[in-house]
Amino acid sequence: MQCIQRRVLPEHNFPGRIIQKAVGRDGFSSSGKMTMGFARFSRESGSAPPHQHAEEICYILDARKAIVRYGTGEEKLYNEVILEPGMVLHISELEWHVFECEDDGYLDIIFFYGQVDNIRPEEMHRDTV
């Protein structure tokens, strides 16, 4: 068993978010079957673009003036949910979505994937090049 403290996880800057990968490929604890980590969205990390990827579960740790928009395409994000601590989001495979915060807002989540490959847009691009 590995017991991991979030405070020791390295931070990686991605477009619109800061990621701390606890478990998975290239994670603090290696796994070939699952991925788990933390993501923070805020003014400091910039704007996150709409994206799609593998099926994902997100647990909202903390949120202030944050929403998720989702829909059938990058330009068709007509559904909107105000995010609150304690919510669980189940994002279907390849479902378009974007997390957004007002300038003085933020979003802090735990994310889970049941796989280690092609889980984020950056990795999908990297693996297909």
Q: Residue 125: is it exposed, middle or buried by C-beta count within 10 angstroms (0-12/13-18/19+)?
A: exposed
- Is the pLDDT at 13 greater than 70? The verdict is yes
pLDDT-derived band at 117 (thresholds 50, 70, 90) equals: confident
* 10-128: CATH, from 2.40.110.10, 3.20.20.80, 3.30.460.20, 2.60.120.10: 2.60.120.10
Q: Where are the domains of the chain?
A: 10-128
What is the 3-state secondary structure of 51-68? ECCCCEEEEEEEEEEEEE
Q: Which residue has the higher pLDDT, 123 or 64?
A: 64
Res 16: pLDDT:
92
The predicted-structure confidence for 40-87, as pLDDT tens digits, reads as follows: 999 999 888 999 999 999 999 999 999 999 999 999 999 999 999 999
Instruction: Quote the percentage of the chain above a pLDDT of 70.
Output: 92
**For position 129, what pLDDT does the model report?**
36
DSSP code at position 10: P
* 63-99 exposure pattern, b = at least 16 Cβ within 10 A, e = fewer: beebbbbbbeeeeebeeeeebeeeeebebeeeebbbb
What average pLDDT does the structure give for the chain? 92
pLDDT attached to residue 110: 98
Residue 61 CA to residue 77 CA, distance in Å, equals 23
Q: How far is CA 24 from CA 33, 78, 105, 123, in A?
A: 7, 32, 29, 13
Assigned token pair, 85: 């601590």
